[in-house]
Amino acid sequence: MPDYEIKNVEWANVIDAIEECYSLGWTDGLPVVPPEQYRVQEFIDYVGRDPDEILGEVPERRRQISLLKTAANAVMAGCLPEYFPVVVAATEAMLTSEFNLIGPSSSQGGAGVLVVVNGPISREIGMNSKDNLFGPGNRANATIGRAIRLILMNACGSIPGIFDRTNIGHPGKYTYCIAENELETHWDPLHVERGFEKDQNAVTVLAAWEPRQVRSAADKYAALDSLIDVASTLGTSLANDDSVAGNGSLVRQGQLMITIAGASDFWEGWSKDDVREYIYPKIRRSVGDLKRVRAIGGDYQDGDDDRYALLVPAPEDILIVYAGSPEASGYRSAVIHSELPKISSTAVTLEIKDL
């Protein structure tokens, strides 16, 4: 028997158990797997860590998130025990000071926590990195992402209408988890670009809005120019305050994630850095446009339509993931804007351990 206390709730049958989870406020609106003690213990045993270990905290809400709470929510989300190391690492990442969970989890913008998994574990647990990347159908993707949302609600207090103050939200707030297709591209995977070895397992979390699909003809420049147009849309990006001088108070946009699908030989001769070098200076809007929608302060002046503000702080703030169908006709990508300026929340990458 475990040496920690668990509150037992009695249920007559599985339907009553599911309904009781609803009444206790444990769900995201969909039915959950009742977190029976033996099943939670299997998850704890799988990683071999103390159930009372604190993975992180949300000090503004006086919440500490233990391994036990994390395991219970992973069970409710429908995870298998072998997914749990990914859930633990993602939880630890979103509880770091760099991610600053209180910002994206309580803002009116309503970001989801996007989880990107790299390394051999993504293949070992059968994660989807190809067709229907952000859609339904894969248990690992769906339940790992859902576990993070349940942890946010049940352990971190991010309950819609209370601490979660989003005005609109998006479906990624149910589940938002993908893997990178590392084996069918010459590009370095995301975790390698962020300081890890290729054979290491790592997870990256980003406070992210919904993916906005981009389709273009099968030409590199046409494809990237189409992507640039979506990345520069008014109402999603705000001006980098270092990019234009003398225009009052400017608001910085955070990081940008781009997923790119299609045959990898389409990008033969190009690296991810080559893509960044091409798109970074073109992700911009005129000062006139930004003033008209009040993204920056100041009155409109002659020449403002010919002066431009960059919308991403630096090239390295463009995170590129090769994922989606490698057999896409033409070119497909998705642009994912981050919720807050980089100074408020930034992507965090941690190693997945306990395997």
Q: What is the pLDDT of residues 183-223, one digit of tens each?
A: 999 999 999 999 999 999 999 999 999 999 998 876 889 99
Structure letter (DSSP) for residue 61 = G
Query: Token pair of 194, please?
Result: 């962020």
**Amino acid symbol at 45:** D
User: Given 3-state DSSP classes, what are the helix, strand and coil percentages for the chain, each rounded to the nearest 5?
Assistant: 35, 20, 45
Residue the block writes with tokens 């001769």: 269
Query: Token pair of 279, please?
Result: 């798109």
Cα–Cα distance between 16 and 19 in angstroms, integer? Answer: 5
**Judgement on whether residues 322 and 274 belong to the same structural domain of the protein:** yes
**Judgement on whether residues 159 and 219 belong to the same structural domain of the protein:** no
| Tens digit of each residue's pLDDT (9 = 90 or more) over 259-291 | 998 888 888 899 999 999 999 999 998 999 988
The proportion of the chain whose per-residue pLDDT surpasses 90, expressed as a percent, equals: 66
**Judgement on whether residues 202 and 232 belong to the same structural domain of the protein:** no
What is the reported pLDDT for 119? 98
Q: Does any domain span residue 220?
A: yes
Give the orientation angle of helix 272-279 with respect to helix 220-231, to 10 degrees. Answer: 60
Cα–Cα distance between 97 and 119 in angstroms, integer? Answer: 25
pLDDT interval class at 313 (50, 70, 90): confident
Burial (CB count within 10 angstroms: exposed 0-12, middle 13-18, buried 19+), residue 249? exposed
Tell me the average pLDDT across 332-347: 84
Q: Does any domain span residue 9?
A: no
Residue the block writes with tokens 């995977």: 189
**Judgement on whether residues 232 and 148 belong to the same structural domain of the protein:** no
Calculate the alpha carbon distances from 353 to 47, 86, 243 in Å: 8, 8, 40
Calculate the alpha carbon distances from 182 to 38, 118, 190, 336 in Å: 36, 8, 9, 20
Query: Token pair of 253, please?
Result: 């946009």
Phi, psi of 294 (to 5 degrees): 60, 30
**Judgement on whether residues 21 and 149 belong to the same structural domain of the protein:** yes
Looking at the 3D structure of the chain, how many domains does it have? 2
Nearest to 253 by CA among 321, 207, 307: 207
Q: Does any domain span residue 3?
A: no
Distance of CA 134 to the CA centre of its chain: 11
Q: Does any domain span residue 7?
A: no
Helices (H), 95-193: 102-106, 120-124, 139-154, 190-193
- What are residue 117's DSSP bridge partners? 179, 203
**Judgement on whether residues 192 and 179 belong to the same structural domain of the protein:** yes
**Judgement on whether residues 220 and 170 belong to the same structural domain of the protein:** no
More confident: 47 or 248: 47
Q: Is 69 a residue whose pLDDT tops 70?
A: yes
Q: Does any domain span residue 55?
A: yes
What is the reported pLDDT for 241? 47
Cα–Cα distance between 130 and 134 in angstroms, integer? Answer: 9
**Judgement on whether residues 200 and 295 belong to the same structural domain of the protein:** no
The strand pair at 331-337 and 256-261 is best described as antiparallel
Tell me if 136 sits within 8 A of 142, measured CB to CB.
Answer: yes
**Judgement on whether residues 48 and 151 belong to the same structural domain of the protein:** yes
Tell me if 226 sits within 8 A of 215, measured CB to CB.
Answer: yes
Query: In what order do the strands lie in the sheet containing 202-208?
Result: 177-179, 112-118, 202-208, 348-351
More confident: 323 or 295: 323
**Judgement on whether residues 124 and 246 belong to the same structural domain of the protein:** no
**Judgement on whether residues 92 and 154 belong to the same structural domain of the protein:** yes
Tell me the average pLDDT across 58-72: 93
The domain containing residue 219 runs over which residues? Answer: 212-337
Q: Does any domain span residue 8?
A: no
What is the reported pLDDT for 238? 54
Tell me the average pLDDT across 324-337: 84
Nearest to 243 by CA among 338, 341, 311: 311
Q: Is 6 a residue whose pLDDT tops 60?
A: no
The pairs formed by 20-29 with CB atoms below 8 angstroms and a separation of 24 or more are 21/76, 25/154, 25/159, 26/76, 26/150, 26/154, 27/76, 27/150, 28/146, 28/149, 28/150, 28/153, 28/174, 29/174
Distance of CA 115 to the CA centre of its chain: 4
Q: Is 91 a residue whose pLDDT tops 50?
A: yes
More confident: 92 or 101: 92
Q: Does any domain span residue 108?
A: yes
pLDDT interval class at 240 (50, 70, 90): very low
pLDDT interval class at 295 (50, 70, 90): confident
**Judgement on whether residues 60 and 131 belong to the same structural domain of the protein:** yes
For the ranges 107-116, 127-136, 184-193, the lowest mean pLDDT is seen at 107-116
State whether residue 162 is helix, strand or coil: coil
Q: Does any domain span residue 1?
A: no
Q: Is 7 a residue whose pLDDT tops 70?
A: no
